[in-house]
Structure 1
């Protein structure tokens, strides 16, 4: 029997009752070299990952070989047949050499296979059963698959992870974003290049009803306080790590902004597949500086890729509508203190949507980062922002000053203030995916004073794919701020 025929026979037989393999002469199985057995298992896995479990049930020899391997090379081969090598992304995250990264190939492959199987099961289930089927571990496995794809240096190489997650998500009908797990899956669905129940409607005008819950959440001023840093963060609790993302809040921010951009068709948000979550996937820019040593990359440890040109979108409600929604309009049928969403359903309701251009310059980087991330110290930056149509009008420019840092939970946090006239606005954002991701930063702007009736709204910040000149000689407040910090 040839090797190919042997492999084909075992795969076919493994799809039936394992006891049928007892018909094979036992010496035949025992005499196959281990290397050939592993190749057969790998071939079976490529045909269908479920074949691995079937093969392990055929006899104790294969069960031991599959479930209790002497080393990780079999499961490493199976894993890499489906996914990108995660050690490159994890090496970048931990600042550990690739060959020193510890990764459990068997466990992580099984988690990802299970996640796909669970999503396939959900197609025929009731929506109320969705979260019981696609549980938290399945969602986390999918998100980890997305963010641990090959880093951006390998963008010219197709990502197995992106293909796998896209196929997993295609056609999925998602449950409402009432838990962190369900909201995290919706964030992934908003970015993936596949139609799901969370995809934008083809006709922009059809989006009014679908985004009402997100508007109601984002513009509810009760969702902003010191405990969540006035942004999409979970309040710190004993036993948890500070700086965990509130995925429910994050989903609603993304949902509001993507609908606003979609109906106006005047802004290309960085929603072009989950490849945008990959580390170092943000566009590279030629800053045209006079001296190479003046760039943040060489002068400072700009690990977050702060320096350069960015685009920022912000949305906000008319203050009269915001006040009516938050402080003078309660739903008598919805329970005590329940806000009425009637204001969003009025035919004249509209949000403002602004596209702003920004240039950020790194001015200082602290000596070391927090525990776990000493290679990522806090970055201090200043910026000049302007409405794109008025790049040379000094009155239209705004001063921005802020930091990029790592949270205890391992998230990249952006915090910055922008002065507009005599008022100061603060922004709190989280980097989507890994460091320097093309998907950018999503968060909330609010008044820096955080008074009781002050407004707030969503923003999205991402790096442009273009070259530019450093505006260090700009004859306005930005130039003064640069000089001030350099002294």
Structure 2
């Protein structure tokens, strides 16, 4: 029996398993298949749901969504970067829509991942594994243009940023793996093409920190619109420093450094099975952002002498429209464990996004490395208090404001944006600075991501598997290398106190 001789409902069921690019050819085969496919929204929905995540909203144009995804794949299969670059607007809108509609599928990509898999994210990971796609869509912001032009021509000037720069930077941030060289691919990796010095020139330039930007990763127009080029620069700086320290291979940092599209969609965070959540509290149940729990934070900074010279040296002050030169003087990196709980929930203010409330929190934090520079960051020794709030911007982005509190007084503040939206597993990226907006600084990049909903079971065995970085306690800053398995066994006794403290912090 021929396919077209089958009952229509069986033909419909069979076509529902056709690969989306092949579905476009079916109407061209014969009249029967033409009528079976054309205008059949139920069939497009069936094909979509067999290959992609079920959207979180019910208002979906199934036919158009499927056509857009097929077109995305066709564009990204083109041979050259130049043949793809003109499609940035379409690629940006399709990728962001695909991530907003992503949902988790149960299995985790690896044991310690704090998000399950997503078919949408898997598709995008496959598409953007190609170097030409990375060059065409992820590496077109101002700092990449500067890097590619600067070491060839020796110039520092740059054109004003445009929508294309912002869209490329946002795609890079959603991709989530810092592209650390101006040209993707091992063929053009050279010392002069490293991106970190150019990203540092944006992150540590105090001219980027103004009242209009709220000293955070926002546009310089007195709104709360996200400046994705600032977020991108923060991601590059932090990712480069974690890689230099050898921390990017550890499970707790892997999602931030190595896994494309790792939880960059709303609701992607899912507690590990080993997590045991404390008794439910009313505020915790009402919190839409999933704040209560344990977070790992990364803070980077320059030595203040270098920071001050970079920003205030009289002989090297470019005009406002000229970027500062790339800077590569070495940075310090601190790992901080935060445990926070919700304290208050209020309706959104007139300047906030109105879909969700403003949620306040408090807690404690403690560095995982006490070998501090006495001059640069002595305030961060020991256990300190933290507090802050989370709200939506008018664009719908999740904005975090945090304060570090010493002796009852707020000292440091940070303004950050959560990549992927509400309850995403990817984490929060932003800027830290003096809470009084000191025009002399210091300031720098920070990020934090959730590792636990609350207390944990499994004791030391869980902590050893998930957070094997106690070596930082005894290593000088910048010289850390991950220990071998034998070295870990030799250091087992010396680590026990650290694990006891960490388990106590997690268990409250």
Fold-level match, TM-score > 0.5?
yes
2:181 & 2:49 partners in 1: Cα distance?
27
Q: TM-score, normalised by structure 2?
A: 0.69
Shift of 1:376: 2.7
- Tell me the SS of whatever aligns to 2:399: strand
1:37-436 paired onto structure 2 within 5 Å: 38-39=12-13, 41-43=15-17, 45-46=18-19, 49-57=20-28, 66-69=37-40, 72-87=41-56, 90=57, 101-121=58-78, 123-126=79-82, 130-133=84-87, 135-151=88-104, 158-173=117-132, 174=135, 175-178=139-142, 179-191=165-177, 209-235=194-220, 243-266=224-247, 268-269=252-253, 270-271=255-256, 272-278=259-265, 279-283=267-271, 286=275, 289=278, 292-294=279-281, 296-298=283-285, 301-328=286-313, 338-341=322-325, 344-345=327-328, 349-367=329-347, 376-389=356-369, 396-420=382-406, 424-436=411-423
Larger of the two Rg values belongs to structure: 1
2:441 pairs with 1:454: yes
**Cα distance per residue 1:159-209 (max 9 Å; x no partner):** 3212211111112332422311111222233349x999877989x996982
Q: What CA deviation, in whole Å up to 9, does each residue of 1:406-426 have, x standing for no partner?
A: 122111111121134666211
> TM-score, length-normalised on structure 1?
0.72
- C-alpha distance in structure 2 between counterparts of 1:443 and 1:273, whole Å: 20
Structure 2: distance between partners of 1:36 and 1:152: 27
> 1:184, 1:247 within 8 Å by CA — same for their partners in 2?
yes
Q: For residue 231 of structure 1, give the secondary structure of its aligned residue in structure 2.
A: coil
Secondary structure of the corresponding residue to residue 131 of structure 2: coil
C-alpha contact (below 8 Å) 1:228/1:235 kept by paired residues: yes
C-alpha distance 182-153 of structure 1, shift in aligned 2 (>3 A): same
Q: Distance in 1 between matches of 2:414 and 2:380?
A: 22
Q: Distance in 2 between matches of 1:369 and 1:337?
A: 34
Unaligned runs of 5+ in 1: 7-30, 91-100, 470-487
Q: Note closer, same or farther for the CA distance 1:387–1:324 as it changes in structure 2 (3 Å cut).
A: same
Within 2, Cα distance between the matches of 1:189 and 1:368? 30
Cα distance change, pair 335–372 in 1 and its aligned pair in 2 (3 A) = closer
Q: Distance in 1 between matches of 2:357 and 2:140?
A: 38
User: Would the aligned equivalents of 2:175 and 2:260 in 1 still touch at CA under 8 Å?
Assistant: no
In the aligned structure 2, how far is the partner of 1:224 from the partner of 1:355? Answer: 24
Query: Which stretches in structure 2 are left out of the alignment for 5+ residues?
Result: 110-115, 143-164, 371-378, 457-508
* C-alpha displacement of 1:399: 2.0
Count, aligned residues? 406
CA apart distance, 1:323: 2.1
Tell which deviates more after alignment, 147-156 or 182-191: 147-156
Q: Pairwise CA RMSD of aligned residues?
A: 3.8
CA drift of 1:439 comes to 0.9
